[in-house]
Structure 1
């Protein structure tokens, strides 16, 4: 049964190509999508945008992590190694000795791990489903998961910052992207600045005690109202976001597919979308060309008609003069009277 998974749930996810490309409004897309093969992927839902479930919007946006078979490979040039992973019970082994996450029921696959750097933002159709969630993490396990992600993210950022500080030397590995390096350096510099600004306990405490008790209560009340409104506000995901179908019945999957196949499917959708836009643009230009040709043809016909009318007008004028010369009497000086 299809559903909208909550945060902390495990689900099976598959791309819905027709819904993903519906915004193109292209009559050729259904036939193209009929030939696509979309696999199923087991994911952990780390976040649902909007926090609170809103049944009034047609789609909800989710962030998911992919469940992978075995420890991930070490990728030195992006400062990621196999220790930056999270075992999920019944898997128990980990290079750092991390205790596995324990869902409400053991997952059907042994030796399965989460890799927090392999994520996707997707949307799914809003379905009101109050059924039981067979596989999920309780609050303490969700917090443990988040702590592992924060630790691995910090280690990776430290590695990227260290690489950025090294002198440029030829390497057998591709270099990290400049944007990524700048963001890491900015975050490190920003943390240093914030530490410098709050170097004095007196300065930090004085800024917190500016407001009186009444003003503080009013301020916090206003913040609570704002947070609640933002949580309840209907936030529509972008129309071109990949649309998926979720099911919380993990028994439909007999093996864990690689997330690389999911991203390859996304690339295929992008190619289809680009081709559709190119066809639409060409059709628009072709219409302009046809309009220009029709305009030219109408202009030629109009010019020909004008020319014929001028000729006929000249003939009529000459004929009138001839008749006048024949039938009208002439005066003595030779002019027609």
Structure 2
């Protein structure tokens, strides 16, 4: 099922599809029983071809404990109706129909991008969304930017202590998660991704939120109009057809189908949001992604080891074949010239000139 722009959806991670590009049977076997947690989010989708790319702000029941070691505080959140409470007295978001849970918040720093398989066929009816945030996504974005500024200020205030040795380096907290999760690293850029943590936690803010909101609101309005009419395109497209408006990846968008990387996680949209009895902790989703990254890294190591074994086996077979061919080749009889030359060398003694 393809969601609408600004729709609240229930979803779960599809780990098998997320790591399908590895083509590793051991990975598939180990992932059959994972990815069972139901989560909820507000999604902003971008038209796609085989897969649709979705930007998501995850939902939590109750205030999330945050990620103190990543400078993400519990009050970095905004309530969603019917919930009206907020430690910062922020106005709640108002979807077209109040959510079926009474105590929902958006942790503003729990955002990511994933893929949804494009199962929509043009001409078929596209169901109207029930839980839709029509006009307040700009307000959510403003809260996200304000909390990102707070997070950066806390991080910068802590940096002098780290430099002076005031902060000890310890093992990462089990709730370690990301503000924006990276796509699963591809094989050709594995070194750059494995040298970093699994998530982005130190992205500096280089854009003023007020300026960003004004421009992005106009941009978002255009995207909404287009995405509601053309949710997806099934026909294969050339690279020229999917060229973005801008070379900047933040602003780039293709109206005729984006091509998200194979390494981007895949989620499955559940048919009924109300079927979810309890919204799971959104940070569990990021821990699942980190687990996929670990499985992916292990798969790469297995592939490298297998490649080394195959190379050694091939080299050994070549050497054995070369030895067999040499043994079957006729031996050359020494000529008379070779015999005379050998006799001369034997007659020459060291120090004979003396």
1:246-325 equivalences under 5 Å are 246-247=269-270, 249-306=272-329, 309-310=330-331
CA offset at residue 5 of structure 1?
1.8
**Aligned match of 2:342:** none
- 2:45 aligned with 1:48, yes or no? yes
Partner residue in 2 for 1:131: 127
The 3 A distance-change label for structure 1 pair 162 and 300 is: closer
Structure 2: gaps of 5 or more residues? 171-195, 209-243, 335-354
Aligned partners of 2:299, 2:160: CA distance in 1, in Å? 44
Question: What is the distance in 1 between the residues matched to 2:162 and 2:293?
Answer: 38
SS at match of 1:113: strand
**Cross-structure match for 1:4:** 2
For 1:64, the equivalent position in structure 2 comes to 56
The structure that is helix-richer by fraction is 1
In structure 1, the residue corresponding to 2:97 is in which secondary structure?
coil
Alignment pair present for 1:80 and 2:105 = no
Is the 1:133–1:248 contact (alpha carbons within 8 Å) kept by the matching residues of 2? no
**Residue 181 to residue 127, structure 1, CA distance change in 2 (3 Å):** closer
Deviation of 1:248 after TM superposition, in Å, equals 5.2
Aligned with residue 83 of structure 2, among 85, 91, 103: 91
| Pairwise CA distance, 1:62 | 1.2
- Whether the 8 Å contact between 1:74 and 1:80 is mirrored in structure 2 is yes
Aligned length: 265
Q: Which moved more, 1:231-240 or 1:158-167?
A: 158-167
Contact kept, 8 Å, 2:161 with 2:167, in 1: the verdict is no
The two structures, once aligned, show a CA RMSD in angstroms of 3.4
The residue that corresponds to 2:27 in the other structure is 29
Distance 1:28 1:75 in 2: 33
Query: Cα offset for 1:89?
Result: 1.2
Deviation, 1:4, is 2.0
Could you tell me whether the CA contact under 8 Å between 1:40 and 1:253 is conserved in 2? yes
* Contact kept? 1:9, 1:133, Cα under 8 Å: yes
